[in-house]
Amino acid sequence: MFANDKKINKIFFFWLLISLLLVFLIIIVGGLTRLTNSGLSITEWELFSGLIPPTNFSSWNKYFDQYKEIPQYKLLNFDMSLNEFKVIFYWEYIHRIIARFIGLFFMLPLIFFYFSNKIKTEYINICLVIFSLIIFQGTIGWYMVKSGLVNEISVSHFRLSAHLLMAILIISIIFWLLKNIQSNKFKIFFNFNRNNTPYQILIFLILVQISIGAFVSGLDAGKIYQTWPKMGNSFIPNDLMLDNLKEFFELDNRSLIQFYHRKLAYIIILYSIFLGVHIYRKKIHFLFNSYKFLMFFIFIQITLGIFTLISGLNIFLASMHQITSVLLVFSALNLYYLVAK
């Protein structure tokens, strides 16, 4: 009986690990779907249909004709051929298929683990929260797509940011749960105390930066100032007229969003250095290696951000920049987990 329980717990751990990798995969594919402007190629939700892609000329024309009705085609891609449409269609199609697979892959084993009564109740409850968020994420995804079907040529950058942050939240909860299982503990993330606060602030700053990064992507704000360290001829772009407090919150302003994204990167670097000084002064030896990983990913992330910008938004570099942001979240979570009480 004990050996069987141990086997089920091992399967439970690897199921969560694979789930984490699948969420990581869909974040990558989702990023590429946005970078290739493919997210509006399928104009219907198709909750239960659309599992099989078009197989003949007639079905392809059906999807293409639907795409021709939205502003993105009429104003931006009016000269697009059917073969060109197929490229953007498949990016969105693959994105949706992976999303559906994740939902089923998480739901079916969860039912088994729930009724097996072999997994700790605390862990199962967290998995139920994760599954609820996965379902909610699908709703957010369609809510995002709808924003680009009527009056705009792309999706709302606010909804894009919400969609990305939900994915980061899901993968972070899975990561935290895996850490709990590995250590056979149940550390609560939202445990606010003097010891945890410095590390929670770092995670908060990274999440805000990811959100602003989604704004940059959604607004194509990276296309206007492709120089570094200056934005054009100065550190503050000339087209920013910040004469009153309200203008600091104009989150549709592409120059302002890129400016915020750059400056918050510097703040994160400085704060991480401050955190490192604190760790080494207090001689918290068990954090040394994890802190080095954190600084490594911050360095890689900043470097990729700069080269993405000056390369004219090279799609490979832009995708790597997004991938590294997830690894940076993992490194910050890992650092926090080690000190969390």
**DSSP string computed for 243-300:** -SGGGGG-TT-HHHHHHHHHHHHHHHHHHHHHHHHHHHHTT-GGGHHHHHHHHHHHHH
- Position 333 scores a pLDDT of 97
- Position 151 scores a pLDDT of 85
DSSP 188: -
- Position 34 scores a pLDDT of 92
Distances (CA, A) of 48 to 101, 131, 205: 13, 18, 38
The region of weakest confidence among 52-66, 121-135, 159-173, 321-335 is 52-66
Q: In the predicted model, what is the mean pLDDT of residues 18-44?
A: 94
Global pTM value? 0.93
Segment 142-192, tens digit of pLDDT? 999 999 988 888 899 999 999 999 999 999 999 999 999 999 889 998 888
